[in-house]
Amino acid sequence: MARGLFCRGSYRRDLTAQRHIREAAAAAESSAGNATTTRTGGEPVTTETRPTADTRTQTTPLITRRFTRPDVDPYDELQWESDRTAVIAGADGAPVFEQKDVEFPSDWSQNATNVVASKYFRGPLTEEAAAAPGDSAPIRERSVKQLIDRVVNGLTDWGRADGYFRDEEEAQTFQAELKHILVNQKACFNSPVWFNLGIEEKPQCSACFILSIEDSMDSILEWYRTEGKIFKGGSGSGINLSSVRSSKERLTAGGLASGPVSFMRGADAIAGTIKSGGKTRRAAKMVILNVDHPDIDEFIKCKAGEERKAYALGDAGYDVSLDGDAWVSIQYQNANNSVRVSDDFMRAVVEDPEWQTRYVTTGEPAQTYRARDLMRKIADAAWECADPGMQYDTKINEWHTCPNSGPITASNPCSEYMHLDDSACNLASINLLKFLDEDPSAGRGYRQAGSGQAPFDIEGYRHTCAV
């Protein structure tokens, strides 16, 4: 996956940065003789006359044509079928989704048709849904042209409104090139773009969020609220709960705290109730706890213990299929759990000394474990229910690209995005097979080595990334 910049704010920053780099380079050439040297405290300091917003000139277009021509609509270059039926079948073979007479390019697979129509087409599917009381809804989309136009036209309109294009010709170039890339399956935005752009006034386009939390009830409740909004918009979130005091520590007013594992129940229920995008997929959620947190033993075992209840319900005759009643009745089923471990902990597993947990509020020593015992519990629970996973904190922060901004403590639900708290990522997928230079004489569709021609369209790939 390539990380793209497709939400409005980050998209704006990316285009502006590219434009400013080019303009600054041009300005540097023209103002090379305008540098002056002064002295501050005896040391020479060179200052330059920098171009202002009024003096910048847009000489080089950001986007040029590679895949399209000005007089040809990208859609007209494809063969289309307007009578396809998109169907998703359940475990029993009965349709759980069906939309007839949908329009897709002839070379799109049936699987691609099914996924796009069921997940990304907006609007009520049935007359009953359209007639239901509530907020007004757009007419159901039936063509991938409508879907792509909704997204691409929205992005292009933002570019026009905010002055990113040199002129209208460049705006139309961007619009056509992006439509070509999407309809030919060369690249694809992350799902929230398809869910929300062109539908919501302020669309949520980021796929993944990393949240922060403080050791207070207000912060915990704000975590619940924020995750609910994230899931509603079709996105996922990750959070490290190690800053929340353990169930072994006192509250200001007396008594013991609930601890992070207890508060995970509320967040789990919210995630199970609010499907991502409101209707199209389950919430995506990551919960992390540091291995030196006093509640680490409870965290390691919480999901496996709940799943044993589901097996017992299955033995009693309850439905244990993916959407069965047994799973709705238990907790901790809507998140990936991960233990955050350090190199010190991993060395302790090898060398077998004691491992010290520490109270969150004071940093004083709490319960002591054998590191190997904790590692065995992690392995046993992961074998039983596939959770918890492990995140290697020391190595993650060694590879940190902006450590001066703070440590990395968490990740998104799938863990491919590791960054600062209270940040977000915008993912895109680029289909590398679309850039292979196929040669039928090679026998397998790949250019033979030594043929004198590159097997991969690197310039087309670069252009796709730029668009």
Q: Catalytic site residues?
A: 412, 414, 416
CA 398 to chain centre: 23
The C-alpha angle with vertex 187 and arms to 186 and 191, in degrees rounded to 5, equals 145
Per the rule left: phi > 0, alpha: psi between -120 and 50, beta: everything else, 441 is alpha
98/288 Cα distance (integer angstroms): 38
336/320 Cα distance (integer angstroms): 19
With tokens 């196929």, the residue in question is 438
The C-alpha angle with vertex 266 and arms to 427 and 274, in degrees rounded to 5, equals 50
Tokens of 351: 């060398």
363/292 Cα distance (integer angstroms): 10
Dihedral angle at the C-alpha atoms of 372, 265, 309, 381, nearest 10 degrees?
Answer: -20
The C-alpha angle with vertex 118 and arms to 116 and 124, in degrees rounded to 5, equals 120
The values of phi and psi at residue 163, to 5°, are 75, 30
301/379 Cα distance (integer angstroms): 11
Helix and strand numbers, DSSP H then E, in the chain: 14, 17
Residue 283's closest CA among 270, 301, 298, 296?
270
Question: Is 360 within 8 Å of 293 (Cβ atoms)?
Answer: yes
